[in-house]
Amino acid sequence: MANERQKRLIQESLDDLLTPEAQQELVEKLGEDTEFSSTYERLKQVDRVLRAAPFERAPQRLALNIMARLAESVPELKTRVSSLALALGLTLVFVVLLPLLVAAGWLILSVVGNAAALSSAIQQLTTLLTVVVGVLTVFVEKAQTLVATSPEAPAALLALIPVSILWLARYVMGNDSDTGDAN
């Protein structure tokens, strides 16, 4: 049986992607191992038959039915995507709410001696938190809709987080250097 390297050599050969060095390696392997050579010849024959076969496009309905059955047969994928969406949502809630909670704590501690200022601060804080909860509710509803219509979207969004953080860091550092040059 061919090992992974040999399988890759066969596949690249059938796809006409071999470098001259890899072609030489394939020729050497074919000369050394009769089982590998027979496997290569069988696969080469299958490749010729498949290339000569007429190409017909499957009806779109067939493709959709196949994809639906695949999705039904892999329920743990749905669970993983849902878990990923939940983790992403909780992370975003934490990232958004942490600065607000720190600011609210500082605000309450700074106005605790003045009853009128404390009352005003609590009212403003309540209004702000109501807006934040409303925004997060909309965000969660949109995220649930997105996951239902496009299960791969949370993974794509998760992949964008490091890029966004890097962009934000560069933006902040760029603004700091701009203000440093002006002074």
36 in helix, strand or coil? helix
The DSSP call for residue 15 is: T
Domain ranges of the chain: 4-52, 75-182
Quote the pLDDT of residue 139.
Answer: 80
- pLDDT of 49 > 70? The answer is yes
Record the pTM.
Answer: 0.34
pLDDT reported for residue 182: 47
- If pLDDT is split at 50, 70 and 90, which confidence band does 105 have? confident
49-60 mean pLDDT: 78
- The mean pLDDT value for 105-110 works out to 75
DSSP string, 128-180: HHHHHHHHHHHHHHHHHHHHHH-TTHHHHHHHHHHHHHHHHHHHHHHHHHHHH
pLDDT band at 150 (very low <50, low <70, confident <90, very high): confident
Inter-helix orientation angle 153-182/115-149, to 10°? 130
